Amino acid sequence: MPVKVSMTVNGKPVAAEVEERTLLVSFIREHLRLTGTHVGCDTAQCGACTIHMNGNAVKACNMLAMQAEGADILTIEGVAAADGTLHPMQEAFREHHALQCGFCTPGMVMSAIDLVKRHPKPTEAVVRAELDGNFCRCTGYHNIVKAILDAAPKVAAMR
């Protein structure tokens, strides 16, 4: 049975009619055509679908679109400035070569921004522990950790 959903995504109001069982990640990718949010495992294990909902990182494959009714959603497409200037975390990932295939990168960046929000001065141990829910099969995480530690002061200053 179709249900109406409405929310704000990347600062813009959106509304649609979807099946009750539509996952938030499917709504974002298929209905809104924001394909930076990836589907990896469908079981909230890999982190490829990480977005921010009402300011907190969540895994969009683990919730229904209708559970986001009225929410403020931020996807990787909404992180950079309107003029295309990269967010400091995106820039740090670029500078530190913290990606290879790029599949995990959007979810990793979204998780990293949330991590710094909660831990403005993270240590390497904190970063590694916090990345536990994000899988990267290419990089070995070393440059990802370096990027997050480098960006942390810049991201924390944005608050």
Q: pLDDT digit string (tens) for 72-117?
A: 999 999 999 999 999 999 999 999 999 888 888 999 999 999 999 9
Question: In the numeric block, which tokens belong to residue 79?
Answer: 């992180």
pLDDT computed for residue 24 by the predictor: 96
Superfamily of domain 88-157: [2Fe-2S]-binding domain (1.10.150.120)
pLDDT computed for residue 16 by the predictor: 95
Q: pLDDT digit string (tens) for 113-159?
A: 999 999 999 999 999 999 888 877 887 788 999 999 999 999 988 87
Q: Tokens 């469908």 — which residue? A: 42
Second CATH level (architecture) for the domain 2-78: Roll (3.10)
In terms of pTM, does the model score above 0.75?
Answer: yes
Structural domain boundaries in the chain: 2-78, 88-157
